[in-house]
Structures are given as structure tokens and as C-alpha cells.
Structure 1
């Protein structure tokens, strides 16, 4: 290793080129800051190269493949449709390359200095960057840590074989598993289970009985119904006993919720599992930066850590490990550094799963609203009653609205069904604005359209949904119309 003789000075350094890091860098450049971005691998981080984007390529393909029967019904396609995994993998690579190239071009156009290398803290105001035999030292005024997280594998699943996969590894498989066992209940596990079932695999989900699905109870029930309809086997696991891998199979033995031992044999085991913040390689812990018990960096509302020159965003901070959080925090951190007064409020951060059909949950679930002492009013409108859902043959699912009956303020919106992802932004805006029932009922909605489902779900709070079964309206409700 050759140590550089010159110590270089920088105003703002961002460590990590994922969604949070490069968004922070670009926002900083927009605000006139001189920004240096350090990335040790590919621009775009795990999200673009191994996580969010590859997984959504697969969920998109699975969704399209599941439409083939409907396409035949409307006169499109003939004969037996064939799914070609090799072409999908090639398409995935093309999408990743294109998006990564776009990020690199944006950084170049915004005159952001991008340095390839591994960063290590040498002090609270300086870092060393190693790239092969080169080692440079940089002194900074502020630094933003945006190094993300990595997946942990618990000891009981350490089979150390080719048939145990972490979430990002499954998108590199060159075959569709004959039988895929999915261990986990988070959105990634559910997306993979849903997608690979549509792509032709037999799928078994080993669901943590203590946690269950992370959605409103009505969504959970509908998800179980749809999994059963699609012949996805769900086993509630009380205890995982062992795993065993052979040349051409893997077996998992567990105790199910009926207190009996069950053995499942599959071709691959997918484990989503817990994630840990990528902090240790930075060497920052020795400077006594304040961390949670789980090892995440504690930050204030401005993303500033206990060391004032050091900020942190995204998966290295406590809270949901989502790209949307990292992007929001990254922008806010540089806006504060530039002298602004940004706010980051994750109260209405949407929970999203690109399953078939997709799921979105924003705000309080019905149970959490009741547990908080709220006088709850609930309405659930089935998409089977929506004209456009019938046209597109996307009738599975519903939109559920949770409202505070004393104030008429909407407390939560939950949807499982086609269009949920695209409509999620509207759900978040409504809750951020503390919208009342009348705020949703007043506007005109395009017809026919899936958005009418939201209108009818709110109208259903007092029995006024047109395309739902009759509900007797109380006189007290009529007075408020």
C-alpha cells in the first residue's frame, strides 16, 4: 500500500452511492454545495444492482405472465405461452445497466466528484479511501454515511450450500425452482413467493407464527385467500428445527402452529431475514458515535449523529429499511447542511409489496386505531364492484378506509389490488393533509377508473357506496350529508 503524501480537503463527503447517497449528492449540487461521493462498488448501491430493481423486474414479469389467460379472453395471443428465464435475466441486466448509467450521468452533469474506493474513518473529521494500492486521506467539514445494510443469516440456516439463497441471490438463478421454500414474512419474501409461483414454481412459505404478515388484518386474510387460490402453501412455524442439503434438494424441519413436526423438501430455500447496518467496516464505532442496541446510528430530525460533523441516512439509521426513507433523509440532510429547515416525518411512510396483486398500507391499521382509543369507523370496498377492474379482469382485492368517527379524519388507507402502488402517493398525501371524509368525497373521479374504489370506500363509511351491497343508513348519518 502506498500512502498519499497530500491530505486533501473537502466540504461535504457522502459515503455510499445508493438511492439515498446519490440523491443527497445531487440535491447538494443543486443547492450549490461542493460534493464528493465515495462508492466502493457500483453506483446505485444494492437497491439498483441487487435488490429493489432486480426484484421488481421479476415481479413485473410474473404479473404479465399471470395476465395471459385474460389476454386470450380478449383475443390476444394464441397457443401455449412459454416463459423464457434466460431472456428475463438478460432484460434484468439491461435495465440495471441503463439505470446505473443514468445515475452516473446525473452525477457527472451535476459536477459531483465520484471516487471509487473503500472509506474508513481516521478521525471525526477525516477519512481514508483505499482503492487497490492507492490510499488517499480526505479532511471534511461534514460527512454523510449512506452505506446501507446487508443481510444476516442465522446460524440454524447456515447450510453453506448452493440451495440456500439470500434474497438478492435468487435473481441470479438460471432455472425456475421446481419447489421454492420461502422463509420469512416481510414484503421481500412475499414478493418472491408470489412472483415465482406465477413463473411456474411450487412455493411453500414458512411464516413466522409470532409476526404474521405486516399488514392490516383484512389484508392478511385476503392474502391468505389469494395464496390458497394460487396453490401457495403457507405453514405457520413456531420453531425451526433443522435444515439439510443434498446434491439436488434441501429439506427443512419445523414445528408448526399445530404443535406437530413437519418436514418440507424443496429444490431451494430462500431466506429474507434480518439486516444489519453496514457500519463496522467504516471504523466509526471507536469514536463513540451513539448507536442503538441493534447497531444502527442514532440521528436527530436533521439526520445529524452524536458527532456533529457526521450525518447518517437510510439503512444505517434506525427505522424501516426502505429506499424511500433513505432518499427522503438524504435530501433533508444536505438541505440542512446548506442552511435550510427541512422536515422528515415518516409517520405515513407507505408499506408496499409488489405481490400479485400488489399491496399498500398507509397510516393506522384498524386494530392499531382501536388500540389507540379512537372511535373507529371502517369501510371496505371490493374491487369486484369496480367497472374498470372488471374490464381488466383485476377484480381481486379491495380498498379499506379507517376513519375517526368523532372528527371524520381519515386515519388509514389500505389496499390490495391492481393499481395499489400507483395510488399509494395519493393515500399518503391525504393522510399528510389530515383529510376528512368529505375531502375525498367532494372531487369528481374519472370513470371508469380504479380510483373510484377509493371514493366508494369512503362513501361506504356511512352506507353510501353505489356499487356495494345495501347498508341501512342511520338518520344521524343522513344529517351530515
Structure 2
């Protein structure tokens, strides 16, 4: 590489190698562009390294441990079940290594250049990429910014040995005897419940009146009930005030109304949201890229910023901070650069929480559909009377389908129960394809499967269910 003032030419510069960035880079390369992707940390971004993937590995391990301990429900006796935390961490790290290595191989196979370092815009079509060894300057035709986000660090709770972010919570040196979680959103609930299954006493402090605020209350209430039965205390309407640390523990002070309370635990996990990585030395103002007061980049329907040659995707633009949303936007941006008419359409972005039981939703809730002016037709069917759910001893939850009463078009769906994260895909496709309740009801679902619950919910909405009685 050339170091100095001479600029190297590149068709597409991608800043960030997370889910959005690497997908954008590969798609741009597939469309004939010369591509350079730059990341200051690691291939795969937060999701693959310290987010989605490692957390799900630990969650799966906790499910296995719990399953063995409760095998008596199936007539199986298990005794002296132990957790080797170092082996659990090895399992997690092994998955991360395989996936990040796979992404690196995909970039190479698609002839995408990779640079481990940082980026600083010089002007509207040039940027310096640099690390400790080199600092080449690139002139780009187009750029895709995919710098992601980081956990919000509160002034009253600076991250330390005993006060950790979601990143720190994935690599604790031991399974804690006790854990406090500030924030009852999906990250706090997933990680808190994971540790509770390994035997940790968990206390969740949530400022709102319910956990999992992004999901329907009839879903979050089922998760809350399950949490309370597995060594988790949930305190809602609570505001964290401050914390005192020692070498061995941390004490949180919080208020519920006017009453002040304290709770002590081995660790305090702070999960109060994420902040977009648009600050620092990136130099967006030099590139004429407008950013809102919240630090979000303003984009149009193709993820194009105020600079028509620069695009932005993922956690740094409006909408939920979800890896699959970033991947989708990465494809759209790359295709827009190539001159294709691709545009973003968020009506089918699923939301999933890997709690126990799992929560998943897509499209409109019943309330949202009514607010949009639809007369609704709703079908709801429980896991409890599905044969496959019974055989899995996973009876909690339901499938709920929301449709337009006049047309039968599926508008949205909510699922809570085992494998909800996989089941939601069928309903997302139904919405995307403009399917009706009758289309779902006429689709033969294999028996015995959890997917049959979707069929049964559609039949309930249509008024002629086979496996339940309409009241």
C-alpha cells in the first residue's frame, strides 16, 4: 500500500465489518465493484464477537444444564450435574472463531480487501485509513458507513471489574452467585435469565411497568412469570441511583416511588441501550454527512446520506438495532450503488428475544393495526394443546395472528414459546407475499410440529378451528 498524500482509487469503501458491513461489501463485490472494508476491531463486528452469537451460545448451554436438571419430567434421573465454566467459555469462543473465520474467508473469496484499522474522512470523496503501521489515503466513488453501536455507559455506573456491560457479562471469570441487572429489555433479560439457569440469584431493576417493553404485555407477563420461578426478582418502576463497589461485590441503591432500597451482588450488569458510533474522529462533517442530535445519520429510502455518494446502515440510522436489519440495509445500499432500484421496506423486520420462553414478533400488533385504520381479525392458539409442544414439555406460550377483517391479509404476528425465533419466519414471509389467513389455513403443515400452531391460529381467526372450541 502507498503511504503519503497520493490517493489510491477504490469503487466502494465500507467502514465496519459487522453484519451490515460485511454483507454490504460482499454484495457490492458481487455486483462488480472493487471493495475495501475497514474495521478497527474485528471481522464480524459486535454481533459475531461480543453480541448475538456468543450470547446465544451461553444461553444454549444454560438450557442444556437446566434440561438435564429437570429430566425427571421425562422419567430420566440425573444426579451430580456440574458446570465447568471454562469449558462453557471454550464452547462459546469456538463458535465465534468458526464464524468470524468464515466471514473472513467469504470476504477473501469475493476479492474484498480488508484493512484492520480506523477511518477518517478528509473530504466528500476521500478518506484516510490507518493503524500503527500504515495510513494509506483512498479516493472512493461510494462509501457505506456501518460503524455500529456500543453499550451506553452511565456516569453513575462506570464500567469496571464489578460493573459490566453486555460485553463484559459474556466473559465473567466465574458464574456469579448473584447478579443485578439494570434494564429489563431483551439484552438484560436474555443474559440475566441465562445466568439464573446456571444458579445465579438475579435481580432485574426496570424503570418501566413491565419487562421487555418492545413486546405485547401478554407476552412479557409469561416471561416474567417464568423468571420469578427461576430465582429472578423483578423490580419495576424502579430508578437506579448509584453504586458502591468493593473488591468482591457491588451494592446498588435504587428508588421505587419515594422509597429507597439497596441490593448487593457479585456483579452489576448495565443494559440501558446502545449508542451509535458516529462520534469520535470519523470526520462525518468533512464528508458532508448530516447527523441528528441523537447521533443517528439521516438517510433516504436507499440508505443514502446527505452526501449522495455516501450511504449509512445498521445501528447508526433510525430503527431497531438489529443485526438482520443491518444485513438487509447493507444489501439495499450495495445494490443502490450498482444502480439497481432497491429500496428499504421495514414492514417485515422481525424482533426476537431469546428469553425462556422465546418471544418473536413481525409486522403490526393488534393495537398498531387498529391505529393504522384496520378492522382486525385475530386468531390466537396456545402451545399447551399442540402435540409436539407437549412432547417437548414446552407448553407455555401462544401464536397470535393479526389480519385485516375485510381482506384477510396478514398484517402481523406475535409468538411466545419454544422455537418462536424460527417460527416467526413463516409469518414474515406471509406478510411479505401478501398472504391471507386462508392461504395459511390451506397450507399443509407437517404433523406433529410446532408449525401447526400457526395453522391453528389462522383457523381460529377464520372462525373454524379444528383443535379448539370457539367461545
2:28 aligned residue: 28
2:353 aligned residue: 353
State the 1:376 CA deviation.
Answer: 2.9
1:249 aligned residue: 249
List alignment gaps of at least 5 residues for structure 1.
Answer: 473-481
CA contact (8 A) 1:123 1:287 kept: yes
Alignment TM-score, normalising by the size of structure 1: 0.93
Q: How does 1:325-474 map to 2 (within 5 A)?
A: 325-468=325-468, 470-472=469-471
Paired with 2:65 and 2:373, the residues of 1 have a C-alpha distance of 45
CA contact (8 A) 1:4 1:134 kept: no
List per-residue Cα deviations over 1:243-291 (Å, max 9, x = no partner). Answer: 221222211122225x532222111111112322212231113444222
State the 1:121 CA deviation.
Answer: 0.4
Paired with 2:133 and 2:115, the residues of 1 have a C-alpha distance of 15
List per-residue Cα deviations over 1:39-94 (Å, max 9, x = no partner). Answer: 22211111111111111111111122222145455466742221211101111111
2:90 aligned residue: 90
Tell whether 2:180 aligns with 1:181.
yes
2:195 aligned residue: 196
CA contact (8 A) 2:123 2:286 kept: no
1:275 aligned residue: 274
Paired with 1:223 and 1:41, the residues of 2 have a C-alpha distance of 35
Paired with 1:303 and 1:352, the residues of 2 have a C-alpha distance of 24
CA contact (8 A) 2:122 2:287 kept: no
Paired with 2:229 and 2:434, the residues of 1 have a C-alpha distance of 37
1:302 aligned residue: 302
1:111 aligned residue: 111
Greater shift in the superposed pair: 283-292 or 189-198: 283-292
Paired with 2:336 and 2:76, the residues of 1 have a C-alpha distance of 53
Residues 332 and 77 of structure 1, relative CA distance in 2, 3 Å threshold: farther
Provide the secondary structure at the position in 1 that maps to 2:412. Answer: strand
State the 1:5 CA deviation.
Answer: 4.7
Tell whether 2:91 aligns with 1:60.
no
Paired with 2:344 and 2:319, the residues of 1 have a C-alpha distance of 12
CA contact (8 A) 1:24 1:330 kept: yes
1:476 aligned residue: none
Provide the secondary structure at the position in 1 that maps to 2:435. Answer: coil
CA contact (8 A) 2:348 2:362 kept: yes
List alignment gaps of at least 5 residues for structure 2.
Answer: none
Paired with 2:228 and 2:345, the residues of 1 have a C-alpha distance of 37
Paired with 1:162 and 1:288, the residues of 2 have a C-alpha distance of 40
Paired with 2:434 and 2:441, the residues of 1 have a C-alpha distance of 14
List per-residue Cα deviations over 1:145-165 (Å, max 9, x = no partner). Answer: 11111122121223x531101
How large is the RMSD of aligned CA atoms in angstroms?
A: 1.9
Provide the secondary structure at the position in 2 that maps to 1:4. Answer: coil
Paired with 1:244 and 1:423, the residues of 2 have a C-alpha distance of 44
2:311 aligned residue: 311
List per-residue Cα deviations over 1:190-217 (Å, max 9, x = no partner). Answer: 1112211111111111112267421012
CA contact (8 A) 1:362 1:412 kept: yes
Paired with 1:78 and 1:152, the residues of 2 have a C-alpha distance of 42
List per-residue Cα deviations over 1:453-479 (Å, max 9, x = no partner). Answer: 1111122225533333x324xxxxxxx
Greater shift in the superposed pair: 192-201 or 244-253: 244-253
Paired with 2:319 and 2:470, the residues of 1 have a C-alpha distance of 41
Tell whether 2:191 aligns with 1:153.
no
Residues 143 and 351 of structure 1, relative CA distance in 2, 3 Å threshold: same
Paired with 1:30 and 1:371, the residues of 2 have a C-alpha distance of 41
Greater shift in the superposed pair: 406-415 or 121-130: 406-415
Q: How does 1:208-223 map to 2 (within 5 A)?
A: 208-209=207-208, 212-213=211-212, 214-223=214-223
Provide the secondary structure at the position in 2 that maps to 1:36. Answer: strand
List per-residue Cα deviations over 1:384-423 (Å, max 9, x = no partner). Answer: 1000111111111111222332332222211111111111
Paired with 1:70 and 1:202, the residues of 2 have a C-alpha distance of 18
Residues 140 and 211 of structure 1, relative CA distance in 2, 3 Å threshold: farther
Paired with 1:462 and 1:352, the residues of 2 have a C-alpha distance of 27
List per-residue Cα deviations over 1:8-41 (Å, max 9, x = no partner). Answer: 1111111111111111111112112111111222
CA contact (8 A) 1:153 1:274 kept: no
CA contact (8 A) 1:48 1:100 kept: yes
2:265 aligned residue: 266
Greater shift in the superposed pair: 432-441 or 119-128: 432-441
Greater shift in the superposed pair: 388-397 or 4-13: 4-13
Provide the secondary structure at the position in 1 that maps to 2:120. Answer: strand
Tell whether 2:10 aligns with 1:10.
yes
